[in-house]
Structure 1
């Protein structure tokens, strides 16, 4: 018997007026797996993450985590069940230090940690993402990649089983990109499964076990990075008919 996937999305649909942003989407993520969610701009990828994480409610379809339905639950309830995420536009708490940002995740996540133990764990998470010694730095003083690192540390503070990354590697220079890829890869050893929206194909090829490709809200391909990136329908979705 096939084991129940960590995440199972079936028939997921969300409309905005006459626009069907996500149209009957199906995908799975298994324990310890890294799955890429690909597609051209406007294909519905971020909307799909918003539906999985509870930021939006679906018009129809189901989202199951470890076999239990979570679609329509409040985002904080889904987070406490083991789903964390980062955002396409980095969202750090600008009036706080790095440590205080991570403490917010520890306090309101699955562990509800407070006090000196939480501070020690927050500093350990900052170390984990490459922000050693930056615990008292205000977030407004951080570089772009360090803000991304901080947002990731705060997501990890929720102790997730599933991490949703929305273009976390976008906008990095070549050196930062290599560092970011290694950091994401290392999360697998912590037992974290990842569903990542990404346009950086070097990262997709390097990190992903499988990819699901969307276009105009629908899934058009699924398979290994090599197979989906060679699929004529995927090439057509990215480049248009004349280049397919």
Structure 2
């Protein structure tokens, strides 16, 4: 019998009043896989990430991490099980320095790392995301792109098995985009699985092993980037009918 997928989402549904934002979505993420979660704006992608990370509870369906149910757990419990995330609208701890933001992830994540060891690791993680020498910089002094880097550093401090990236590459210039793609590639080499919501198609083609495409809350395609981006239903979802 094969081992369960790292993440298994089955029949996932979320309603907001009369609106069905996510409707029976199913997919799996394997160890070390980069899975793209695609779809036009309003298709339910971020709502899926919010349910996986615990920010929202599903109305129906299940979410399992290595076969153990996590749907409905509090976000901090899911984080300690090895699921970290970034947000579409960057969330950093504004009253703290870069070092202190990463220390928060080290202290309250899976390892509860404190003291000198945590300080040294915080420096290493900041350097890795492109913030070397910025440990004492307050987050209010960072550019938007550097705040994104810091948010990723804090997520990596949790030592996740699964990293959820919500449009982390959005807004980067061409040089920064290449650096971001290289950084995400390097995370996979460490065995971190990644579920990424993204609209930058060059990044999807470069990074993703497989893509799930959503439209109006439902899954409409699942396959390699080349296959799903050529799927007529996916093309219609993004561009509309040719005679519209």
Could you state the TM-score of these two structures normalised by the residue count of structure 2? 0.98
Note the residue ranges of structure 2 that are not aligned, 5 or more in a row.
none
Distance between the aligned counterparts of 2:146 and 2:30, measured in 1?
Answer: 29
Q: Offset at 1:54?
A: 0.3
Q: Deviations over 1:48-92 (max 9, x none)?
A: 000000000000100000000000000000000000000000101
Distance between the aligned counterparts of 2:56 and 2:39, measured in 1?
Answer: 20
Q: Offset at 1:193?
A: 0.2
Distance between the aligned counterparts of 1:182 and 1:16, measured in 2?
Answer: 38
Distance between the aligned counterparts of 1:243 and 1:206, measured in 2?
Answer: 32
Alignment of 1:22-33 (within 5 A): 22-33=22-33
What does residue 163 of structure 1 align with? 163
Residues 236, 243 of structure 1: 8 Å contact kept: no
Task: List, as ranges, runs of 4+ consecutive aligned residues in structure 1 with deviation greater than 4 Å.
Answer: none
Note the residue ranges of structure 1 that are not aligned, 5 or more in a row.
none
Q: Offset at 1:2?
A: 3.4
What does residue 41 of structure 1 align with? 41
Q: Offset at 1:145?
A: 1.5
SS at match of 1:24: strand
How many residues align? The count is: 244
RMSD over equivalenced CA pairs, Å: 1.0
What does residue 183 of structure 1 align with? 183
Q: Offset at 1:47?
A: 0.1
Could you state the TM-score of these two structures normalised by the residue count of structure 1? 0.98
Distance change in 2, residues 1:228/1:116 (3 Å): same
